[in-house]
Amino acid sequence: MSPFHIRGVVEGFYGVFYTAPEREDLIRFIGQHGYNFYLYGPKNDRQHRARWREPYPAKTIEQFKRTVATAHEVGVTFGFSLSPGVSMCYASDEDFDAITCKYRTFYDVGVRAFSILLDDITPEFQHEADDKRYKSYAEAHADLCNRLYQWLKRLDADCTLSMCPTDYHGSAPFSSYIHELGMKLHPDIDIFYTGRAICSTTISSADAEAFAKAVQRPPLIWDNCPVNDLAMQSELHIGPIRGRDPSLHKTIKGVLINPMIQAEASKIPLLTYADYLAQPENYDPEVSWDKSLQVVGGEESASALRLLAENSLHSCLGTPDAEKLESLVNAVLTSLLQGYCVHDNPEVDALDAYFNELDEATYHLKFRMENLGLRNNLLPWIELLEHWLWMGRRALIVLRAIESGDSYQQPLHMMTENLEDAQKHHKRIAGKVLLPLAQYVWQQIGQQQKVAQDGIGI
């Protein structure tokens, strides 16, 4: 039995949001792995945020009806949220009615959990009527939420309401907005908190407890890990969750995880989070990660998937991009700078062997992995890793040719092309850990050319 009351996923990212089949598949998956809540709130759904007053098309509502039914079948509560703060007049009865009309539509298809998201908006009034009616931004938000809560409870006592405040992250003592909101908001309305940062490296019980004290209730953690939207779209966050306090459940009501834009690939970190939520005090990231790679990738592809994943660990968690690859490259450069040859060099051989492993892994993931949804999610990063590893392999070929006195122009040209392809790619994998190897190659070529010119001068 998990010590966390609410264990959920929030589809709350910017960018291309999930299709109905992707969403239903993910809901089935999380239902099988201990989660009990799914909150719908993608920022680029126009009827959710930019044009929130507009009703959804009838066909879309039918899709939602099937999705809600799917969630109920697997024991997951489906929640619907709205983000009206971009243009709302809090004093307007028409705007309030627009929200309740949208809520009523989703109530009619089976939704009982609702949320109002007031994050990522300008913290000042946009309408004169609000300036006249409210003394503060917090008062307006509390008034809106309280009225929505009362409306929902009149509709059905089983309805719940949560909200995301405009100041949703930070550390004590927190803003005056947060303290006033906590004081004026109905005590049964849940409040989201992302930790010290929007994407927090760690989330501690102490910080959660301080936020709970400020808002006068245990918060719901909105964890922006492994999300990869906005400036993070180049990143692939398929490492294990880390840095979440084992005693966090003592100070919060639950956790909702914001996944990546890639639904299938998100299952890997979500599975590790499921292990944390089940037994936070016994959670082992590495053990959980290995298991997750096998479950999502399949046993035949798990080792290849691990090789890709261990080179894609850059995220808010502060883990190095590609620790093993970086270590191997540094060992080679240290050896060569100390005067050792490229030939019969165990450090060079180890790096070359790792390149061969990566080459086999990327080939397998592209052409032999049975989970085609995962393959399609990962493909841009697989191809980028290929550019990097072939650049590295050809760098070693050039160094061997220089040492042997052979021609190196063709492998150098190919190495340069691989590097250019890697550097102009729109994704990120392995960071820049292979750049020092390329730079060393150019230094050696420069020295060769200088020696040749000096020889001609003599």
Find the angle CA(369)-CA(371)-CA(375) to the nearest 5 degrees. Answer: 70
pLDDT of residue 458: 45
Burial 373-394 (b: 16+ CB within 10 A, else e): ebbebbebbbbbbbbbbbbbbb
* 75-85 confidence digits (pLDDT tens): 999 999 999 99
pLDDT of residue 241: 98
Burial 61-81 (b: 16+ CB within 10 A, else e): eebbeebbebbeebebbbbbb
Largest CA distance in the chain: 97
pLDDT of residue 87: 96
Residues of the chain where predicted confidence (pLDDT) is lower than 70: 450-458
Please report the domains of the chain, with CATH numbers, ordered by start residue: 6-297 (3.20.20.80), 323-455 (1.20.58.460)
Decide: helix, strand or coil at residue 279: coil
pLDDT of residue 452: 58
* 68-112 confidence digits (pLDDT tens): 999 999 999 999 999 999 999 999 999 999 999 999 999 999 999
pLDDT of residue 365: 98
DSSP at 253: S
